[in-house]
Structure 1
């Protein structure tokens, strides 16, 4: 089982490097073979893990007397369920990318350099999976930085001043988070614990736990684009749409949540002061997103603010976990899994606007009902993100609200729950306006996309409904 998971991230890491030397159809085929093989290996590993009763497997691969565990593998319900959503969503995004990155794309035709995009994306997938299965803080730091580098690669892909500026902004902000957060955690591990294993951090005293928690929270919040360092994410929408889908649905943003969840899990209990620092930033983030929704005219920027808000909701669940509620940790991972497919569908649908119509401006797009797959995908993804049943995000939000008993410990949790409901209501109103204007209206020629693009979107729609059934058996096993 362990070898299967190691291969599932090692193959993309190696394959991504090879893809820099390929282009055209050779790059397409090699990319698909690489990602499909990694997905198959991961799925077999998940099945084996489930059959064996979901045990926690921790293996130290490299250690030293001075640093303790340097490199290891951690397979548990949290890493397996998050790894599952990353690899399955990543495969569908890359299937879509094969045709999206082509000369037929009206907004951004691609004639050469396709292998470079595939290379960054496959490396992104490999680094994300390696990050998830890491058992030492040094590993988390290394793969955190590789993800930031891959993000720079895809955001800057189209070239031009705007793309380059947005790419460096994303790189600098997330690297700042790594320097403040993970470098601090590594430093304390080396000087106080003489061990970099996640398991060792429970041995810190309350003062050092609080320092590590606040530092890692900064790293996580930069990755997830939370207040005050959130503006890099809407700017990063200059990236090709399959990359945007992965950034928002299954990689960078969610990995910030996963990072903080790991430290909450292994350093439990966290001093209550950490909750107050977290809550103040989350409340500010939620308010900003609620105010920004009505003013967005670009489909991808609207979805970007939705991602910031949805990540904030995952952190609200983690805030409940900081107050001592194990169900908060479980709800956070549940929402992470449920959100990925619905958000991925929304972004791939927005990508069809760019591909077939040459624009992302929602004011210029009309009559999508003439193209049923595109029209219904846009409708269902927006309703799903607003938290309308039967889509998975509804169940994720209900899981977060199920931690209402934590209100007795802090009224700030009540404020965050109220903002969760307000965010859903405002986004639903914006979504209904968008659906009315863009889908059920006259105008705009039919949106023509390839069978592979349609297949990826239909698969995401189905997964966006059944995701809770897949995730639930795993997340209920998540604990301290």
Structure 2
């Protein structure tokens, strides 16, 4: 398993070097090849772990004296999430081969080597972060993802995209200070950077380390007060938005918080209380902010902020002793990655074929582009938690756990009622835009839409299927 896990991390990095040096016409195919090899490694890793009796395994790879600097953790959570982030990287690579062409009506542009090379580096960094067993390992890959996000958000090299890229880099780097402090404090108290050492700390030290990690998590996952980079990051090519801002980069924050909770043993309740309060503040803010949006990608950006708040809410509730809340949070990470990637890539098709993603200019999608209409519908229903789509099976355990915990903690009840109101209201808002854009007589932009390439259609079909099936995969895998 050790070698397979290393392959999932290192193959994309090696592929990035080869892709960067290859002739431009070959870059996109090399990117797909190495992303496919990394995806195969994550599948083989999951099979090996399953055949090994589903026993949690740790490997110490780099150490200095008795101090572990980097290692691997292979368990039910890491194998599930690494599969999602790497396979979605493959799907985005395939989609990009058709999107980044001169036929794109909004951004006619032939994809350059640096785009595909940085995408591969991002895939490798995500695999490394998910599988890392130390805070130093997480910190290394945390910073690599920040650098890649800067390069990919600013890919078009326009003034606005370059400003957005720098903003994302600076804010997430400020957030990394929390991870630096957590790693330093953990080492000072225990003499190691291993995440499992968090459980050895007393409550005061444990609170300091967990708050440092939580601060870093807020930055990567765009939570108040470190949220403002995400809507501006929509200047990136849409496949980048789908991968970085739905499937991978924004999931770094919630994942490192979840991993710290797994490792910490008994957790002071103040960590859960602060997590719940900040999640609710961000949830309400994100909902209010996406109401006036008419740019589909910016609407999805604010929607992503609210969906990440639900994950923070679930993980924070688990601090009060609810395994259902924790498993629901992990399933939410997995399910939301597929559903929101689908929505972003639907937006990308509209940009590619219609030349716009402005919602008031889009009408009659179902009549001219039935697959895109179905994708819009499925994505909207999935992320708002309507059965039988995967979002429902993420939200249900969260609400069940929250209302159950309210018996012992009265203040959780109003929190869950507010979250329930937001969930219903967000469904109503997406239903409103669905009615405005999908049925009816086609608008001029939709009526004159260019054909959708087969590669983009194939990716959308896979994501539509996963929006129905991923919850069952997550439930089975998490046990």
Answer whether contact 1:279 1:412 (CA < 8 A) is retained: no
Q: 1:290-334, CA deviations, whole angstroms, 9 ceiling, x for partnerless residues?
A: 212321101011111111111110111111111122222211101
- Residue in structure 2 matched with residue 116 of structure 1 by the alignment: 114
- Residue in structure 2 matched with residue 42 of structure 1 by the alignment: 42
Answer whether contact 2:271 2:319 (CA < 8 A) is retained: yes
Aligned equivalent of 1:302, options 299, 317, 323: 299
Structure 1 residue 97: deviation in Å? 0.7
Aligned equivalent of 1:215, options 212, 215, 218: 212
1:64 matches 2:67: no
Segments of 5+ residues of structure 2 without an aligned counterpart are none
- Residue in structure 2 matched with residue 435 of structure 1 by the alignment: 434
**What is the alpha-carbon distance in structure 2 between the residues aligned to residue 447 and residue 209 of structure 1?**
56
- Residue in structure 2 matched with residue 131 of structure 1 by the alignment: 129
Once the two structures are overlaid, the 10-residue window that deviates more, 390-399 or 266-275, is 266-275
**What is the alpha-carbon distance in structure 2 between the residues aligned to residue 411 and residue 298 of structure 1?**
40
Aligned equivalent of 1:359, options 331, 356, 361: 356
Answer whether contact 1:352 1:447 (CA < 8 A) is retained: no
1:466 matches 2:469: yes
1:282 matches 2:285: no
Structure 1 residue 414: deviation in Å? 2.4
Q: 1:146-173, CA deviations, whole angstroms, 9 ceiling, x for partnerless residues?
A: 0111111110001111101110111111
State how 1:153-302 maps to structure 2 within 5 Å: 153-179=151-177, 181-302=178-299
Structure 1 residue 413: deviation in Å? 2.7
**What is the alpha-carbon distance in structure 2 between the residues aligned to residue 258 and residue 157 of structure 1?**
26
**What is the alpha-carbon distance in structure 2 between the residues aligned to residue 441 and residue 295 of structure 1?**
23
Aligned equivalent of 1:381, options 379, 403, 415: 379
Structure 1 residue 441: deviation in Å? 1.8
Once the two structures are overlaid, the 10-residue window that deviates more, 85-94 or 409-418, is 409-418
Structure 1 residue 409: deviation in Å? 3.8
What is the TM-score with the length of structure 1 in the denominator?
Answer: 0.96
**What is the alpha-carbon distance in structure 2 between the residues aligned to residue 374 and residue 464 of structure 1?**
14
| Number of corresponding residues | 473
- Residue in structure 1 matched with residue 148 of structure 2 by the alignment: 150
Answer whether contact 1:223 1:253 (CA < 8 A) is retained: yes
**What is the alpha-carbon distance in structure 2 between the residues aligned to residue 255 and residue 266 of structure 1?**
17
- Residue in structure 1 matched with residue 416 of structure 2 by the alignment: 417
After superposition, the CA RMSD in angstroms is 1.3
**What is the alpha-carbon distance in structure 1 between the residues aligned to residue 312 and residue 144 of structure 2?**
23
Q: Structure 1 residues 69, 344: CA separation in 2 closer, same or farther (over 3 Å shift)?
A: same
**What is the alpha-carbon distance in structure 2 between the residues aligned to residue 402 and residue 73 of structure 1?**
33
**What is the alpha-carbon distance in structure 1 between the residues aligned to residue 19 and residue 136 of structure 2?**
27
Structure 1 residue 467: deviation in Å? 0.4
Answer whether contact 1:323 1:409 (CA < 8 A) is retained: no
Answer whether contact 2:183 2:209 (CA < 8 A) is retained: no
Answer whether contact 1:353 1:447 (CA < 8 A) is retained: no
- Residue in structure 1 matched with residue 74 of structure 2 by the alignment: 75
Q: 1:419-460, CA deviations, whole angstroms, 9 ceiling, x for partnerless residues?
A: 322222122111111111111021222452101100000000
Larger RCO (CA within 8 A; separation ≥ 6): 1
**What is the alpha-carbon distance in structure 1 between the residues aligned to residue 64 and residue 286 of structure 2?**
46
Q: 1:213-232, CA deviations, whole angstroms, 9 ceiling, x for partnerless residues?
A: 11111100111001121111
Once the two structures are overlaid, the 10-residue window that deviates more, 388-397 or 9-18, is 9-18
